[in-house]
Structure 1
Amino acid sequence: MDFSVTSAVLEKSKSDCIICGIYHGQKLSSAVSTLNGATGDAIQQLIDRGDHKGKAGEVQWLHAPNGISAQRILLLGMGAESKPGNRDLKKSIAAAVEALRKSGSRSATLATSTILSSTDTQELYHLTRTAVETIESTLYQFDIPSSRKKSRPLLKKITFNVADRKGLTTAKKGIEEGKAIADGVSLARTLGNLPGNICTPNYLASQARKIARGEKSISVRVLSEKEMEKLGMGALLSVARGSDQPAKLIVATYSGGAKKAPPVVLVGKGVTFDSGGISLKPGGKMDEMKFDMCGAASVLGTLQAARDLKLPINLVAIIPATENLPSGKATKPGDVVTSMSGQTIEVLNTDAEGRLILCDALTYAERFKPAEVIDIATLTGACVVALGKHASGLLSNDDKLANDLIQSGEESGDRTWRLPLWDEYQPQLDSNFADMGNIGGPEAGTITAGCFLSRFTEKQRWAHLDIAGAAWLQGKEKGATGRPVSLLVQHLLNLG
């Protein structure tokens, strides 16, 4: 998609369509009134007839209006609030894109002044960035491996029309950041959607190298199983034991900040297919376990966005990547493994494998002396039960870091909900045969998983994002969402 910005007179726009925001139950704004006057009161008449009420996501075409150069006007409902929240704004922009796509429009001009309640630059930035992210997300198509040709959307260009030249720089910044985030989200979605026989641990490593190609600011190292064995990563390797695909520890270092500035470390769970191992999952919907590497995918998407935006920070992306399959070599329930930290773990359930690969990656992260560590994982079904698909679970040993992530979630519209990490939950991990078990029983599954990880991050400012509900959708919309790339990039932008 080609995005641009202009301050030219709106009525003279020669695009296929002008997108005009209408608010429910409110008088026409001055910007809409100007456009209405140019069309001979056509907009007001349509509203007076009750053909458009301005509800969020409501669309209505005004074809071949007199007095303007554009072929059509798309009236877009923005809801009752003069300043729509993230939810209504995304809903409305997505509805406009769908209408444009169905109409066959190749270009459209979004009249920002018909949507904004003021000339505040922050509002304009938020609108343009959110619009770009939403447009790209709505138009996203996964290239299905198929002999059938897939139709492509005709919509090629969106122009943001701002009220005056003072807004050009702000809008351009919104477009730039929105596009980088959207591209990162698209990468994460595509990696998540790929089948497990294509998106293997080695494939994830190749994607990290692809992001780094030609970039002096990024270096990539991929550790083999033999190297991980030398480091004592017995927990991670215990998960890989049942698979013929060799595990990889992918480490990508982005250097955009001061040389000695401590980095942010992102650790993404990369189980490219999770059968549950010996603790085999039920067959129904097991195909969705290709999405169990969405934490890794989100880290790669964030790394790409950091590269594209040239963020002034230092960032380390760590991805423990493996399959979790049953075989004669696979780890069995009751086996005891030794982690890189030296702590021993009784594997009570081989389907609680994510925490086993993450704990060694988190210990490995210590060598970078990080400012903070954030791990992202499709970790527990309990999180889906607790929060559904709307929010990611958040646990942290640092209040400031937790609050920063919550704020970044609110700003990006990719929200989190914090759960407690109290000492009272820790005894649920007690084991008679090792330092700890890898599960804590049926109660508070998301929290005890966080308690497990906390034992490997005591020296760090650490946060854990459980994205089991947010990482992919089911049903007709089945597919990866690319979350929480937008949250993570917003957090890095705030740090920069």
Structure 2
Amino acid sequence: MATVHISQGSGFDLSVDLLVVGVYQGEVPEELDRRFKGAIREAVQRDEASFKWLNSWSSYSFGAVQARRVAVLGLGEKGSLGVREWKQVGGHIGQLANEAKAKSLAVMMPETSLAPEETAEFLTEGLLVGSWHFAGYKADPPQQSWQEATLAGWLASAEAGVRRGEIIARAQNFTRDLGFRPSNKLYPELLAQEAVKAGQSHGFSVEVFDENKLAELGMEALLGVGAGSAHPPRLVVMRYQGGGSRTLALVGKGITFDTGGISLKPPLGMEEMKYDMLGAGAVLGAMMAIADLKLPINVVGLMAVAQNMPSGTAYKPGDVVKAFNGKTIEVTNTDAEGRVALSDAVSYAAHLGVDWIVETSTLTGAVVVVLGHEATGLVATDDPLASLVLQASEASGERVWRLPIYPEYKKLYHSDVADMKNSPGRDAGTITAGMIISEFAGNVPYAHLDIAGTAWTPKGPLNNVKNGPTGVMVPTFVKLADMLSR
């Protein structure tokens, strides 16, 4: 497992495979250039090197420093780096280390506009997230190149930031690992087992409701979504007791594979539907990090877990199912299964007497049309909670954009035979999906985060790794829990 350390000494004196020195655009690392006898400045003058954003110059050290190789990394304009950018810098450094097949590296950075502890946290998170890769199922799996990184020339106080960055990054990578697993390796029972193991390792309790318990509780909605699969659904309830009288509920959609059911999806790209459990994965990853950080708040994490499969026992268009809180749903499209499954989880969260419910799911293709892969869509019934979610996402470097709720939208999911229908059509599709789920939150402040465009992306979580799960919302959830604990 890769680790990150702090050193108050100079990186020039560390015997590592790779030394990375950050420099702002228009500047040259003077001490390093002197050691290289002016070679760096000459490379800039000859246009052989440019220290614009994430551009780099590298060379063997030839004894100028203790490191075997040196890379000078452009940080763009001074003062332009925020949370997201420092994570990208860390991710890019991790990639440089992997490309150089470096086992050890040192990182030297100039003064930043953030506190040293914060910069260290985001650099560490970027290093560990940006260079991580899924081990896969090959007979000879690839190995991560670098194993140890040292942030050199930093104050000892930055150590706390490194530790926090490590915790969040490892939780995020755990979520990504779950997302990469194919559905024959991660069906509902196995995802529930992962939660049980995580609870034992990180210090929170886990209760798993099987199909018999779901039937006993009247959770027809989640049972309906999973009715077509050989692997029955599960509701996973995780509890972290950090203290105080307030409780945050985090709820995630855990469809371990989504064929669309009877309303079958087109075959092209259907293999990506193993990612439809990444909302639940984000909740599980966040619970791990929150427990490891020992945040002083009570958190309940709920995962609505099922496979949406077509079969003779599958739920069908026209069926009516009743959720835990007694409200009924007319199923007009079995491929709009997320909001159906989540109705039981959200109403159960409200039943537990929590103070806030924040739910995340890969819910609608419509959110990709609106926001692409750059931002998560937010639909919220409570302005103060929405504001906190936006602040938490900003502080975590994750982009979230709030969409409006207008009374006219509620008419779109009116049903003549039930309390609502699950698929009202294309108009305001992301908004109505969030509003439908909000119907099951009762009077509890509720926020929905649609991560269909951000849970897996063409370029990865830091725009520098290959396509795959990003672990999005883990950092935001951790930050939100931290903010609500104060």
- Please name the residue that 1:127 is paired with: 119
- Please name the residue that 2:321 is paired with: 337
**Deviation sequence 1:302-348 (CA, Å, 0-9, x none):** 11111221222111111111111111111111111122111121111
- Please name the residue that 1:159 is paired with: 150
1:58–1:77 CA contact under 8 A, matched in 2 = yes
CA distance in 2, matches of 1:197, 1:104: 33
- How do 1:62-461 residues align onto structure 2 when only pairs under 5 Å count? 62-64=59-61, 67-112=64-109, 114=110, 116-117=111-112, 122-147=114-139, 149-163=140-154, 167-169=155-157, 171-213=158-200, 217-258=203-244, 261-461=245-445
**Deviation sequence 1:54-89 (CA, Å, 0-9, x none):** 111111113225553333321001112334234543
1:56–1:91 CA contact under 8 A, matched in 2 = no
CA distance in 2, matches of 1:466, 1:241: 25
Give SS of 1:159's match. Answer: strand
User: Please, which moves more after superposition, 435-444 or 11-20?
Assistant: 11-20
User: Please, which moves more after superposition, 392-401 or 2-11?
Assistant: 2-11
- Please name the residue that 2:482 is paired with: 493
Q: Percent identity?
A: 37
Q: CA deviation at 1:357?
A: 0.9
User: Please, which moves more after superposition, 316-325 or 103-112?
Assistant: 103-112
CA distance in 1, matches of 2:272, 2:66: 49
CA distance in 1, matches of 2:201, 2:435: 40
CA distance in 2, matches of 1:393, 1:65: 51
Q: CA deviation at 1:131?
A: 1.5
1:405–1:487 CA contact under 8 A, matched in 2 = yes
CA distance in 1, matches of 2:419, 2:400: 31
1:57–1:88 CA contact under 8 A, matched in 2 = no
Name structure 1 gaps, 5 residues minimum.
none
1:54–1:80 CA contact under 8 A, matched in 2 = no
Aligned residues: 479
Q: CA deviation at 1:295?
A: 0.4
Give SS of 2:116's match. Answer: helix
CA RMSD in angstroms comes to: 1.9
Q: CA deviation at 1:367?
A: 2.9
Opposite residue 185 of structure 1, the aligned amino acid is: Q
Opposite residue 69 of structure 2, the aligned amino acid is: R
2:414–2:420 CA contact under 8 A, matched in 1 = yes
Give SS of 1:269's match. Answer: strand
CA distance in 2, matches of 1:151, 1:359: 41
Opposite residue 117 of structure 1, the aligned amino acid is: T
Give SS of 2:115's match. Answer: helix
**TM-score after normalising by structure 1:** 0.92
Q: CA deviation at 1:188?
A: 0.6
- Please name the residue that 2:462 is paired with: none
CA distance in 2, matches of 1:66, 1:206: 52
1:56–1:92 CA contact under 8 A, matched in 2 = no
CA distance in 1, matches of 2:314, 2:185: 22
Q: CA deviation at 1:474?
A: 4.4
Give SS of 1:195's match. Answer: coil
CA distance in 1, matches of 2:172, 2:200: 19
1:465 aligns to 2:449 (yes or no): yes
**Deviation sequence 1:2-22 (CA, Å, 0-9, x none):** 211011134322223321112
CA distance in 1, matches of 2:380, 2:191: 27
Q: CA deviation at 1:191?
A: 0.7
CA distance in 2, matches of 1:162, 1:402: 39
Distance 1:68 1:214, change over 3 A: closer
1:56–1:88 CA contact under 8 A, matched in 2 = no
**Deviation sequence 1:7-58 (CA, Å, 0-9, x none):** 1134322223321112222x44xxx334434444443333333222211111
Opposite residue 112 of structure 2, the aligned amino acid is: S
2:90–2:124 CA contact under 8 A, matched in 1 = no
**Deviation sequence 1:159-198 (CA, Å, 0-9, x none):** 01135xxx212x1111111111111111111111111111
CA distance in 2, matches of 1:76, 1:67: 18
Q: CA deviation at 1:441?
A: 1.6
Q: CA deviation at 1:246?
A: 1.2
**Deviation sequence 1:195-222 (CA, Å, 0-9, x none):** 111111111111111111155x411111
Give SS of 2:170's match. Answer: helix
CA distance in 2, matches of 1:392, 1:107: 35
CA distance in 2, matches of 1:152, 1:67: 30
Name structure 2 gaps, 5 residues minimum.
460-464
1:57–1:96 CA contact under 8 A, matched in 2 = no
Indicate which of 461, 476, 481 corresponds to 2:470. 481
2:331–2:421 CA contact under 8 A, matched in 1 = yes
2:101–2:145 CA contact under 8 A, matched in 1 = yes
CA distance in 2, matches of 1:280, 1:316: 33
CA distance in 2, matches of 1:117, 1:305: 26
Opposite residue 116 of structure 2, the aligned amino acid is: L
